[in-house]
């Protein structure tokens, strides 16, 4: 009996102290549920933005375009914290592929219910590039368009790999409207140079693929060669800068979201400037607003510097001709300032959307659920309106 009472006493004492017999009093307390945990303090620019699926070895080598970001574990010259060392190929809410199956989240899988985005996109074959890889693109052709003379908008996805589906949901508002929508795929993620990666400025591998795609759109889909516009997000924006500098004559206007020019490109940028708009978040850790040195030691221009340089190339004055704050219509801790250059020599206009508090995401994206995603504006709608006003859309 005494032994039994002693055992009970030990057990009750242990339970009263929050543990079990033999438990280490230094162990952490029971884990709280997600609902009970306090929200983590936001880190400036902590926005995963474009993370497609896990790359294979070699995808993040020092020469890949997607490594044009602050060195891991360090700080760029502007003093902002560098991006964490994270896989570049994990799906995120902003990719539109959080389920990781290669389709936008609202796109039914094979055998699923009809009527989703999948049923409005057609996969076309472009042909092999200089590395021997078969390149592809998804297109949306509104049924109401005339057979010829069609407008086209090319949209370049971010991240590594072949991920054109990721950005399509953010353009669904333009489905069945007035233009053919084109979503080119980068190189597959199992490639040594996945996504839109290049080894040097002006490399022709991706440029030639897009030129071939344009020829195909004209020959087989009724697109007018003189009515094409282009926009890109993150590394897709880098691809759009390449097109602006080396194939700019094939486009009427550009849009650049969350990635700006590298300094080395300014001396090599040979195409005449075209009207353009830049969207830049001040808390973007992947593409810091003020610029940074990437892992190769190449300086990436900041948003304001890139806007002023390319506007100057188009004959604009050094300072914007107008500046205004746009309506703070969403409770998202961001505020947009619109700066516009007009009265330029060879282009209609240039514009910079400075998003205070904004991170690495497509403004107004339907799948942008991150804390510093901007919903005060829709980059898609702003681009269409800007191109209508200044770029012949």
Tens-place pLDDT, residues 241-297: 999 999 999 999 999 999 998 888 889 999 999 999 999 999 999 999 999 988 778
Compute the chain's Rg from CA coordinates.
Answer: 24
Identify the burial level of 133 via C-beta atoms within 10 angstroms of its C-beta, where 0-12 means exposed, 13-18 middle and 19 or more buried.
middle
Using pLDDT thresholds of 50, 70 and 90, give the confidence band for residue 8: very low
- Among 345, 224, 226, residue whose Cα is nearest residue 275: 345
Tens-place pLDDT, residues 364-393: 997 556 668 999 999 999 999 999 999 999
Tens-place pLDDT, residues 311-323: 999 999 999 999 9
Pairing assessment for the beta strands 150-156 and 179-184 based on DSSP bridges: parallel
* Residue 86 clears pLDDT 60, i.e. is over it: no
Average pLDDT over residues 332-339: 96
Distance CA 335, CA 377 (A): 9
Using pLDDT thresholds of 50, 70 and 90, give the confidence band for residue 192: low
Using pLDDT thresholds of 50, 70 and 90, give the confidence band for residue 188: confident
Task: For the chain, give the number of residues.
Answer: 393
| Three-state secondary structure call for residue 253 | strand
**Cβ 157 vs Cβ 102: under 8 Å:** no
Tens-place pLDDT, residues 65-74: 344 444 443 3
Distance CA 270, CA 273 (A): 9
The answer for residues whose C-beta is within 8 angstroms of residue 230's C-beta and 6 or more apart is 153, 154, 155, 156, 240, 243, 244, 251, 253, 254, 255
Question: Distance of CA 352 to CAs 258, 330, 338, 340, 380, Å?
Answer: 12, 20, 6, 7, 14
319: how many CB neighbours lie within 10 A of its CB? 10
Tens-place pLDDT, residues 13-25: 443 333 333 333 3
- Among 293, 283, 291, residue whose Cα is nearest residue 360: 283
- Among 89, 91, 100, residue whose Cα is nearest residue 56: 89
Task: Write out the H or E segment, with its range, that includes residue 153.
Answer: strand 150-156
φ, ψ of residue 140 to 5 degrees: the values are -125, 120
Query: Which of residues 229 and 132 earns the better pLDDT score?
Result: 229
Indicate the pTM of the whole model: 0.73
Distance CA 243, CA 156 (A): 11
* Residue 82 clears pLDDT 80, i.e. is over it: no
| Range in 96-110, 118-132, 159-173 the model is least confident about | 96-110
φ, ψ of residue 4 to 5 degrees: the values are -65, -45
For the chain, which domains are there? 65-390 (3.40.50.1820)
**Cβ 271 vs Cβ 248: under 8 Å:** yes
Using pLDDT thresholds of 50, 70 and 90, give the confidence band for residue 109: very low
Pairing assessment for the beta strands 150-156 and 223-233 based on DSSP bridges: parallel
Q: Residue 190: what pLDDT?
A: 56
Distance CA 222, CA 126 (A): 16
| Three-state secondary structure call for residue 342 | coil
Distance CA 116, CA 216 (A): 26
- Give me the numbers of helices (H) and strands (E) for the chain, helices first please: 5, 12
């Amino acid at each position: 009996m005494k032994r039994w009472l002693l055992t009970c006493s030990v057990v009750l004492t242990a339970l009263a102290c929050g543990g079990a017999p033999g438990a280490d009093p230094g162990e952490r307390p029971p884990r709280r549920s997600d609902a009970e945990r306090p929200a983590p303090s936001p880190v400036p620019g902590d926005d995963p933005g474009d993370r497609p699926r896990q790359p294979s070895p070699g995808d993040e080598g020092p020469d890949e375009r997607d490594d044009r970001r602050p060195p891991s574990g360090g700080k760029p010259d502007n003093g902002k914290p560098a991006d964490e060392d994270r896989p570049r190929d994990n799906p995120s809410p902003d990719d539109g592929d959080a389920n990781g199956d290669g389709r936008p989240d609202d796109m039914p899988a094979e055998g699923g219910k009809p009527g989703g985005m999948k049923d409005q996109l057609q996969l076309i074959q472009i042909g092999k590039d200089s590395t021997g890889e078969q390149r592809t693109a998804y297109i949306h052709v509104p049924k109401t368009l005339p057979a010829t003379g069609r407008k086209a908008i090319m949209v370049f996805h971010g991240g590594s790999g072949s991920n054109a589906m990721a950005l399509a949901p953010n353009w669904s508002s333009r489905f069945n409207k007035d233009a053919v929508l084109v979503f080119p795929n980068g190189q597959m993620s199992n490639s040594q140079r996945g996504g839109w990666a290049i080894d040097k400025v002006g490399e022709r591998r991706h440029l030639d693929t897009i030129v071939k795609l344009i020829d195909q759109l004209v020959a087989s889909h009724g697109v007018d060669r003189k009515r094409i516009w282009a926009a890109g997000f993150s590394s897709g924006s880098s691809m759009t800068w390449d097109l602006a500098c080396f194939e700019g004559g094939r486009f009427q206007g550009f849009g650049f979201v969350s990635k700006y020019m590298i300094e080395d490109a300014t001396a090599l940028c040979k195409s005449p400037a075209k009207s353009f708009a830049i969207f830049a978040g001040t808390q973007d850790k992947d593409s810091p607003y003020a610029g940074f040195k990437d892992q190769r030691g190449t300086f990436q221009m900041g948003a304001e510097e890139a806007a002023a340089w390319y506007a100057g190339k188009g004959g604009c004055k050094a300072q914007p001709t107008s500046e205004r704050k746009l309506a703070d219509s969403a409770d998202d801790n961001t505020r947009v300032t619109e700066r516009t250059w007009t009265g330029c020599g060879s282009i209609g206009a240039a514009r910079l959307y400075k998003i205070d508090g904004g991170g690495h995401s497509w403004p107004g994206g339907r799948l942008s659920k991150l804390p510093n995603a901007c919903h005060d504006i829709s980059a898609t709608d702003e681009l269409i309106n800007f191109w209508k006003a200044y770029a012949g859309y």
